[in-house]
């Protein structure tokens, strides 16, 4: 029996077109032995949630730099709840102001990583949380 | 925890969540996986299964995206399994085929699953075949399997697909030479993608020349279609050729192929299951270790040791 792989979706909601950070994180997770699916740029919440469902991922990583996180993240979480995808671990990265962090965490975003976060921190976070929930 | 039976019932109704969960089961080779596949098996065989293969960078994903849109226009539902390689070093994988299929993720008639090879050779994952069965049983009219970037040895797609589409691009002249022993032998339809580039006609004639050299085995003459996947040019023509091939198969070749495919699969499954069974027993009773020591001490060679194992096994059966 093969070991269960951690599957992660790295998604870019909204309209900004900077995906270097998303790609760096995707690569770090891949190098840590995970299967990483990348959506590409400019995804709607509906597209992201349907992809989470079809790919049956354990983790959703959202990367955003546009400032629209307080609109897009709640929408994504709401859609996920509607589809019964509450067991998926959600984390975020990008430019997210201090004062938005607490509200987003209350909403269900488990962790938020700002610029300069070492990739190891993200990898360890994902590993720990997925192993705990299994 | 959802039971295998619940998943099967939901899959037969076409439920995407259940399809996704079941594919995870077959990927992870869980206890439920076998149950799910066994129950769905009688309901398979309705979907048209198309394989899309070719070297990396030829435009497979973009072509598949356009093909899906063409099929949706024709009112057909589509399942896609897109395979990408697993890193032999980290065991991880970057699955990027969806990037080219973005706006299809919310299309209700389309289910896309990215799959890593998990180091299975042949251009597919071990679970690809069962994923195709799940999509077939779920009622998708067409199932498309996109292989990893393929060359000489990634030809396992013929064990799954009814029609194999080989995608090439201009400027691969020498490569066509190099891969003539591999995927060039399995194409039912050849696509010269990026046909707006110069040398497109040269690529077509290279393929033609190569096909003419092939042994006269089949009555089907592989078709060659020029496409520009990015604009959608030639996609309708490609679908027509795939349909022509389907009609050709239905005249008799299909059952021959199907029989060959099933036989190969059965033989492989027997090999795998008997080997697993015997090896497991040898590990438990310590005989495997004992044989390894004997081999290391040069008392016996590995092949003779295996022979011995087999003889003992047969004796036990009698």
| Residues B244 and B300 occupy one common structural domain | no
Residues in A whose CB is inside 8 Å of some CB of B read: 1-2, 4-5, 7, 26-27, 29-40, 42-44, 46-47, 50-51, 53-56, 83-84
Q: Are residues B75 and B218 in the same domain?
A: yes
Identify whether residues B90 and B213 lie together within a single domain: yes
Q: Residue A43 has what DSSP assignment?
A: B
Report if residue B106 sits inside a domain: yes
Say if B285 falls within a structural domain: yes
For A47, residues 6+ apart whose C-beta sits below 8 A from its C-beta are A39, B102, B103, B105, B106
Work out the average pLDDT over B175-201: 83
* Shared-domain flag, residues B170 and B209: yes
**Together in a domain, B127 and B140:** yes
CA-to-CA distance for B200 and B79, rounded, in angstroms?
Answer: 30
Residues B37 and B96 in one domain: no
Q: Please say if the pLDDT value at position B192 is more than 90.
A: yes
Question: For B85, which residue in chain A has the nearest alpha carbon?
Answer: A35
- Rounded Cα distance between B38 and B148, Å, is 27
How far apart (Å, rounded) are the C-alpha atoms in residues A38 and A110?
20
DSSP for A45-89, written as a single string? HHHHHHHHHHHT-SEEEEEE-SS-HHHHHHHHHHHHHHTT-TTSE
Q: According to the model, what pLDDT value does residue A37 have?
A: 96
What is the chain B residue with the closest CA to A26? B94
State the average pLDDT over residues B244-270: 90
Please report residues of B whose CB lies closer than 8 A to that of A54: 16, 19-20, 105, 111-113
B21 has pLDDT over 50: yes
Nearest to A43 by CA among A83, A11, A81, A78: A11
Mark whether B39 and B54 lie in a shared domain. no
Please give the Cα distance from A109 to B218 (Å, whole number).
58
CB contact under 8 A, B93 and A83: no
Of B20, B27, B91, the CB nearest to A33: B91
Q: What is the pLDDT of residues B114-128, one digit of tens each?
A: 999 998 989 999 999
| In a shared domain, residues B37 and B85 | no
Other CB atoms within a 10 A radius of the CB of residue B255 amount to: 10
What is the per-residue pLDDT across A70-118, written as a single tens digit (0 to 9) for each? 889 999 999 999 999 999 999 999 898 899 999 999 999 999 998 889 9
In a domain, B259, yes or no: no
Helix (H) or strand (E) holding B37: helix B31-40
Whole-angstrom Cα distance, residue A48 to residue A54?
A: 10
What does the block give as tokens for B120? Answer: 């299975």
Q: How far is A8 from chain B (nearest CA, A)?
A: 10
Query: Do residues B125 and B272 both lie within one domain?
Result: no
Which chain A residues are within 8 Å of B18, Cβ to Cβ? Answer: none
The pLDDT assigned to B177 comes to 65
C-beta separation of A38 from A74 below 8 A: no
Lowest mean pLDDT: which of B87-101, B177-191, B292-306?
B177-191
Whether B90 sits inside 8 A of A33 (CB atoms) is yes
The pLDDT, as a whole number, for residue B175 is: 64
Cβ–Cβ below 8 Å for B93 and A36: yes
What secondary structure, in 3-state letters, does B231-260 show? Answer: CCECHHHHHHHHHHHHHHHHHHHHHHHHHH
Are B95 and A39 inside 8 Å of each other by CB?
Answer: no
Q: How far apart are CA B19 and CA B11, in angstroms?
A: 6
For residue B275 the two structure tokens come to 């080997």
With CA atoms as reference, the chain A residue closest to B104 would be A47
Q: Residue B204 pLDDT more than 70?
A: yes
Calculate how close chain B gets to A21, using CA atoms only, in Å: 15
Q: What is the pLDDT of residue B60?
A: 93
Task: Give A40-62 pLDDT, tens digit per residue.
Answer: 888 899 999 999 999 999 999 99
Query: Which of B20, B95, B96 is facing A56, going by the closest CB pair?
Result: B20
Which has the higher per-residue pLDDT, A32 or A3? A32
User: Are A2 and B28 contacting, i.e. CB atoms less than 8 angstroms apart?
Assistant: yes
Phi-psi region of B28 (alpha: psi -120 to 50; beta: other; left: phi over 0): alpha
Q: Are residues B181 and B60 in the same domain?
A: yes
Per CB-CB distance under 8 Å, the chain B contacts of A23 are none
pLDDT at position B233 is 95
Local structure of residue B226 (DSSP, 8 states):
E
- Quote the CA–CA distance of A100 and A113 in Å, as a whole number: 12
pLDDT at A1: 36
Q: What is the DSSP string of B292-313?
A: HHHHHTTSS-HHHHHHHHHHHH
- In angstroms, the CA A94 to CA B165 distance is 41
| Domains in chain B, number | 3
Give the tens place of pLDDT for each residue, B298-315: 999 999 999 999 998 888
The verdict on residue B202 lying in a domain is: yes
When pLDDT is cut at 50, 70 and 90, the band that residue B179 belongs to is low
Shared-domain flag, residues B12 and B129: no
CB contact under 8 A, B113 and A54: yes
- List phi, psi (to 5°) of A12: -115, 95
Between vectors from CA B193 to CA B188 and to CA B195, what angle results, nearest 5°? 125
The whole-model pTM stands at: 0.91
Average pLDDT of chain B, as a whole number: 91
| Residues of chain B neighbouring A40 (CB-CB closer than 8 A) | 98-100, 102
pLDDT category at B157 given cuts 50, 70, 90 is very high
Please, is B209 exposed, middle or buried when counting C-beta atoms within 10 Å of its C-beta (0-12, 13-18, 19+)? exposed
A99: helix, strand or coil: helix
- Identify whether B280 is part of a domain: yes
Q: Please indicate, yes or no, if residue B188 is contained in any of the structural domains.
A: yes
Query: Cβ contacts (< 8 Å) between B7 and chain A: which residues?
Result: none
* Mean pLDDT, rounded, for B11-33: 96
Q: How many CB atoms lie within 10 A of CB B217?
A: 7
Interface ipTM above 0.90: yes
Please provide residue B156's backbone torsions phi and psi, each rounded to the nearest 5 degrees: -65, -15
Are A5 and B16 within 8 A, CB to CB?
A: no
CATH code: domain of residue B101:
3.40.50.300
* Domains of chain A, each with CATH number or no CATH: 7-133 (3.40.50.280)
Clarify whether residues B29 and B52 are in a common domain.
no
Residue B256 inside a domain? The answer is no
Q: Flag the least confident range among B28-37, B174-183, B226-235.
A: B174-183
pLDDT for B220 equals 87
Rounded Cα distance, B98 and B90, in Å: 22
Domain carrying residue B71: 46-251
B257 inside domain: no
Contacts of B15 in chain A (CB under 8 A): none
Rounded CA separation B125/B111 (Å) = 18
Query: In the predicted model, is pLDDT for residue B174 greater than 70?
Result: no
């Amino acid at each position: 029996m093969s070991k269960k792989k951690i599957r992660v979706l790295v998604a870019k909601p909204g309209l900004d077109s900077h995906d270097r950070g998303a790609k760096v994180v995707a690569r770090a997770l891949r190098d840590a032995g995970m299967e990483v699916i990348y959506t590409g740029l400019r995804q709607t919440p509906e597209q992201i949630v349907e992809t989470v469902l079809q790919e049956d991922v354990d983790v959703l990583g959202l990367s955003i730099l546009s400032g629209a996180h307080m609109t897009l993240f709640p929408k994504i979480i709401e859609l996920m709840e509607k589809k019964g995808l509450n067991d998926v671990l959600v984390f975020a990265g990008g430019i997210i102001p201090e004062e938005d962090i607490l509200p987003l965490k209350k909403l269900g975003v488990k962790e938020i990583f700002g610029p300069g976060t070492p990739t190891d921190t993200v990898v360890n976070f994902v590993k720990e949380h997925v192993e705990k929930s299994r | 925890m959802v039971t295998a039976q619940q998943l099967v019932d939901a899959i037969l109704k076409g439920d995407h969540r259940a399809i996704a969960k079941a594919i995870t089961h077959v990927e992870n080779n869980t206890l439920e996986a076998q149950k799910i596949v066994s129950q769905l098996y009688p309901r398979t065989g309705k979907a048209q299964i198309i394989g899309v293969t070719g070297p990396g960078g030829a435009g497979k994903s973009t072509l598949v995206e356009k093909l899906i849109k063409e099929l949706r226009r024709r009112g057909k539902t589509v399942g896609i399994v897109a395979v990408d390689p697993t890193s032999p070093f980290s065991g991880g994988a970057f699955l990027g085929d969806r990037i080219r299929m973005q706006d299809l993720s919310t299309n209700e008639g389309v289910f896309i699953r990215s799959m890593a090879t998990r180091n299975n050779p042949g251009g597919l994952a071990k679970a690809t075949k069962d994923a195709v069965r799940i999509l077939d049983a779920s009622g998708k009219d067409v199932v498309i399997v996109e292989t990893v970037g393929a060359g000489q040895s990634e030809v396992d797609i013929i064990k799954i697909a009814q029609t194999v589409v080989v995608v090439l691009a201009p400027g691969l002249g020498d490569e066509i030479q190099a891969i003539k022993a591999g995927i060039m032998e399995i194409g039912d339809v050849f696509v010269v993608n990026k046909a707006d580039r110069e040398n497109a006609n040269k690529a077509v004639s290279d393929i033609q020349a190569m096909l003419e050299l092939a042994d006269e085995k089949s009555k089907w003459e592989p078709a060659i279609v020029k496409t520009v996947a990015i604009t959608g040019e030639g996609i309708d023509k490609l679908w027509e050729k795939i349909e022509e091939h389907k009609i050709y198969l239905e005249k008799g070749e299909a059952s021959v192929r199907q029989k060959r495919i099933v036989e190969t699969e059965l033989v492989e499954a027997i090999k795998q299951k008997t080997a697993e069974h015997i090896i497991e027993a040898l590990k438990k009773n310590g005989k495997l270790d004992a044989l390894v020591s004997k081999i290391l001490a040069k008392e016996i060679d590995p092949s003779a040791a295996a022979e011995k194992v087999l003889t003992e096994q047969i004796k036990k059966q009698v």
